[in-house]
Copies of this chain bind each other. A is one copy, B any other.
Amino acid sequence: MAIQKPTLPKGTRDFGPLQMARRNYIFGIIKDTFKLFGYQQLETPSMENLSTLTGKYGDEGDQLIFKILNSGDYLKDVSVSDLGAGAGATLSKVSEKGLRYDLTVPFARYVVMNRNEISYPFKRFQIQPVWRADRPQRGRYREFYQCDADVVGTDSLVCELEILLMIKRVFAQLGLNDYAIKLNNRKILTGLAEVIGAAGRESELCVAIDKLDKIGWEKVQEELLQRGFVQEAIDKLNPIISLQGSNKEKLDFLSSFLVDSETGLKGIGELREVFDLLGKYGESEEFVDFDVVLARGLSYYTGAIFEVKVNNVSIGSVSGGGRYDNLTGVFGLEGVSGVGFSFGVDRIYDVLEELGLFPEKQLDGTEVLITYFDEQGRDYGLKVLSQLRSNLVSAELYPDAAKIKKQFTYADKKQIPFVIILGSEEIEKGQVSLKNLSTGSQESLSLESAIDTVKSSMLNHGS
């Protein structure tokens, strides 16, 4: 067999020890927060039937689902006339399964299949990879993790409050302080369409307004004209586009602006209640910014819409979500209202790296490396190793009697903070020499004292 130089598939990555430690640091904070708020973990299979996946993400989404070839003679149902008919025509003959494209559709499928066992309200979180056959580019991968939390089976706005609180806690724990949670409500967008005389066209309005940040009001107006909105209607939006002030001031303005839209006023009322609940929980609302032009593309939101942006970094949105009133309808279960959101872990990773916010001691792992010169040292080292681990100190014995410099280089590369050196003197006295690699200090100690020193250093580093 010819020897091949191995490569990775386009758009995929290995995560070595340092990246894993950093990713686990982020996952850990997110998971702890979800649990503190009473969310329970769910995992669904990587593969779903294509019948479950297709038709849920739009035509473009369907194209981007990775399909799995049927086992065995997969071409047996393909006929000569199928060749040249294009990919869509024969897909059902060669593939019946696809890879998970997001965590929302599998969650909806789970709820429908387990509707009678679930106790509502059902608060679930899910942290798993998803796959998309997108063209790979910087910051966009074909395999990436999503971290979702959703609660279904209640329309209480306490759930919206809790999402704001969870985002706040995660960002505080990560040391990310300069960010804003943008908050809007789909019903307000519906109301806007009504009062400008374009009732029922809020989806088109949203698609155009969604680009305000990127292309500016001028170009958004052009797009609205092209989509058939009349100039008179567009002009009515002017005060909305330039809306400034505190959350309360903006809500007060909207209350009169939307006075003729029952739905719009309902949206205002919901937002007011969320801010009210925030105050009752004892939180200031300054980290939440009511943004009347926040639309987010997804058309299934029916109430609150969230988006989180970190300020002064090159990366855009790192989290988002909203309320939907009919998540499971497509699988035949109507009337399940819910609200959820997602953390973009890859983007949060990039933000923390850009801002230098990862903890100094990154490689969680070995605290002590035991080094030695000969077989006698190794044998003594085995006893030392056993004692360290019994005391829950992560420790290694260098496996070979290599040159001491080589053993120290190993400790250095692995960011191991302490080295124990076992020479003939230490063995004779029944002691150990403990060297702190960051301060350079070294002392001869009883093993018990060495363990105490290492353990108190672990406590200080929070490891």
Contact = CB atoms under 8 A, between A and B. Distances in A.
How often does this chain occur in the complex, in copies?
2
A134 to B, nearest CB: 10
A3 B69 contact: no
A426 to B, nearest CB: 16
A459 interface: no
Contact of A379 (B8, B280, B331, B379): B280
A14 B42 contact: yes
Nearest to A4: B51
A254 to B, nearest CB: 25
Interface residues of A, number: 110
A330 interface: yes
A295 B163 CA distance: 55
A116 to B, nearest CB: 12
Contacts of A80: 80, 83
A4 B50 CA distance: 12
Interface in A1-46: 1, 3-9, 12-17, 20-21, 24, 35-46
Given A8-B45, A42-B20, A383-B281, A55 B1 contact: yes
A277 B48 CA distance: 49
Interface stretch (A153-161, A296-304, A433-441, A447-455): A153-161
Given A16-B114, A67-B68, A154-B400, 8 more contacts: A5-B331, A6-B51, A6-B113, A47-B143, A74-B94, A158-B382, A277-B382, A281-B385
A117 to B, nearest CB: 8
A107 to B, nearest CB: 10
